[in-house]
Amino acid sequence: MSRLQNIVSQYVPFVRKKSTHTREDVLRSKPTRNPVLEWERTSDVEIKLRIPQRNDYIGRMLCKVFHAPSHKEILLDEVGSDVWEICDGTNNFEAIVNAMCKKHKITRRECEVSVGMYLKMLGERKLLGFQLGGRKKK
């Protein structure tokens, strides 16, 4: 039943289970860059992401018809680049927030909110994934 629900929920939003992650789960989660992406530092402060277009038959055909480039590029600003660089799968959300607080001297709350929103946006665009550690056994 659960497996069926998982499959159906990919296409039918209201069947989707509500997220039950606590604040602690989120703080422990480790954002990890999508390995398909290529990225490079274009200057001291900016990072350029290269996102490949879909490589199946339809994707290749659409690229040919519309003369679309093989990659989409996104330029991250200074703060965004700093966050992107730390998201290597070894640092959890809390560590990222701490690092950004220290570097840019912003309050923890401000940092948590803005870094959280930014990571959520990257996650929605499938540029990042989140490794959730298992809960500790009591």
Partner 1 sequence: MNEKCRFSKTGWQGIVADVPEDWCLTTVSGDDKTGYFRIDSTSTLLLETKWSKSVGKVDLHAKLEAYLEDLKKKAKKKKQSFEYKIKSKDAESLNFTWRSDRKAQGRLWKCDQCNRIMIAQLSGAPGDDIANMASLIMPTYKDHSDDGWRIWGLYGLEAEVPPDYILEKHKLMSGYIQLIFRKQNDKIIIERWGLANTVLRNNPLRDWYMERAIYDLKAYKFKMENILFEEEQGLQITGNRSSIKEHFKSLHELAMFKKPSHKLDGYVWLCEETNKIFSIQTMHSKKENRINEILERIVCHQNE
3-state DSSP assignment of residue 61: helix
The mark string for 21-60 relative to partner 1 (x by CB under 8 A, - otherwise) is: ------------------------x---------------
Q: With respect to partner 1, which residue has the nearer C-beta, 3 or 23?
A: 23
Residue 106 has which token pair?
């912003």
Min CB(117)–partner 1 separation in Å: 8
Per CB under 8 A, the list member of 109, 120, 126, 135 interacting with partner 1 is 109
79 binds partner 1 (CB under 8 A): yes
Per CB under 8 A, the list member of 25, 106, 123, 129 interacting with partner 1 is 106
Cα–Cα separations (whole angstroms), residue 70 to 8, 54, 64, 110, 130: 32, 9, 10, 38, 27
- Radius of gyration of the chain from its Cα atoms, rounded to whole angstroms: 18
Per CB under 8 A, the list member of 78, 90, 132, 135 interacting with partner 1 is 78
Residue 102 has which token pair?
């220290």
Distance CA 87, CA 115 (A): 11
The residue ranges that bind partner 1 (CB under 8 A) are 45, 78-79, 104-111, 113-114
